[in-house]
Amino acid sequence: MANITFKGNPVQTNGELPETGQQAPDFVLTKTDLTDLPLADLSGKKVILNIFPSIETMVCAESVRRFNEAAHSLDNTAVLCISRDLPFAHQRFVDKEGLDAVISLSELRSLDFGDRYGVRITDSALAGLLSRAVVVIDENGRVLYTQQVPEIGQEPDYETVLDAVRTMDKNTSFEDVCTKMPVGEHARFDDTDDACDDGRAGKI
C-alpha cells in the first residue's frame, strides 16, 4: 500500500501503482454521456491517467484544467481524468470550463479501476475515493511512468509527466526513453523488459 498524507495526516491506499514496464491493467470507466470506455479502445495511443479524489475540489479541478491545456500540444495522446464522481458532475465541470481535450471518466459501474491500480484510499475521511496519482501508458499498452502524489492536497508534477510523454514516439524504444529523461525523473525498468536498469529513480 502507498503511505500518503491528507492535510499532513497519514492516509493509506489499497496497493501500489503498477510497475513500470508491465502491461497496464485493463479497466472500463464511464464517460459523461454514460457510455463505457475500455482501455482497449485506446490501443495505439499514448495515454495519461490523471487520477484524483473529486472534481468538486480545487486541486482536482486545477489538475484537469492543466492537463486539458497541455493535451492540445500532445500528439496521439489521450488524457483521461478519473474519479469516483458521477458522470453528471464531470459534465458540469466540462461545460463550465469549456474543456475540449481531455476525457472525463467515472467509476460509476465498476470499482475495478481503483483496485487494479492500487489507488483506492482505505482509511480517513476520504476512504473509498481515489488518491492523487498519474500513470503514463505507451502506445503498446505498457506502463512507462507513474507518480503517486505524496500529499493529496498537492498538485501533480505536471512537467515531469509531460516530459515522459514527449520522449515517446512510435519509433522510440524503452531504452531511448530512459536515456532521454533526466536522472531521477524517469521510469525504471527491469532486465526482463529489455529496457534500462541503471538504478535511476522511478516513481515519485
Q: Which pLDDT does position 172 carry in this prediction?
A: 54
Q: Which pLDDT does position 3 carry in this prediction?
A: 86
Q: Which pLDDT does position 196 carry in this prediction?
A: 41
Q: Which pLDDT does position 200 carry in this prediction?
A: 32
| Cell numbers at 183, concatenated | 536522472
CA distance 194 to 107: 34
pLDDT beneath 50: ranges in the chain: 170-171, 178-204
Please identify which of the residues 60, 81, 178, 196 carries the catalytic annotation. Answer: 60
**60 catalytically annotated:** yes
Q: Which pLDDT does position 203 carry in this prediction?
A: 33
- As to burial, measured by CB atoms within 10 angstroms (0-12 exposed, 13-18 middle, 19+ buried), residue 126 is middle
Q: Which pLDDT does position 201 carry in this prediction?
A: 33
Q: What is the pTM of this model?
A: 0.84
| Cell numbers at 130, concatenated | 481515489
| Cell numbers at 186, concatenated | 524517469
Q: Which pLDDT does position 195 carry in this prediction?
A: 40
| DSSP-based three-state secondary structure for 116 | helix
Q: Which pLDDT does position 176 carry in this prediction?
A: 53
CA distance 32 to 104: 7
Q: Which pLDDT does position 2 carry in this prediction?
A: 87
| Cell numbers at 167, concatenated | 520522449
CA distance 112 to 38: 12
